[in-house]
């Protein structure tokens, strides 16, 4: 049984804009940032924002979801 979501991956087309949005508008803590990806933390959940300029990105599309049986 899954008891905890540890990380989600969110594809974006412009990672620098996503960093501003998640940090400034939502108040997520920025853990790590490069030119094409960033990691945030929010309430024990890690959010991986990854630049997907080679693919069409649809709103609210998740790339990855990591689940844990331990909490």
What is the Cα–Cα distance from 70 to 21, expressed in whole angstroms?
A: 31
Which CATH number covers residue 35? 3.10.180.10
Question: What pLDDT is stored for residue 71 in this prediction?
Answer: 44
> pLDDT tens string for the chain (71 positions)?
777 888 888 888 888 888 998 899 888 999 999 988 999 998 888 999 988 766 565 555 555 555 554 54
Question: What pLDDT is stored for residue 38 in this prediction?
Answer: 94
Domain range spanning residue 52?
4-68
Question: What pLDDT is stored for residue 43 in this prediction?
Answer: 87
- Residue that has been written with the tokens 């853990």 in this structure: 31
Q: Count structural domains, the chain.
A: 1
68: its two tokens? 């844990």
Question: What pLDDT is stored for residue 41 in this prediction?
Answer: 93
């Amino acid at each position: 049984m899954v008891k905890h979501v540890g990380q989600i991956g969110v594809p974006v087309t412009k990672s620098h804009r996503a960093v501003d949005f998640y940090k400034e508008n939502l108040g997520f803590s920025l853990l790590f940032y490069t030119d094409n990806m960033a990691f945030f933390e929010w309430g024990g959940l890690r959010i991986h924002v990854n630049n997907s300029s080679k693919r069409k990105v649809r709103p609210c599309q998740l790339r990855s979801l990591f689940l844990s049986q331990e909490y």
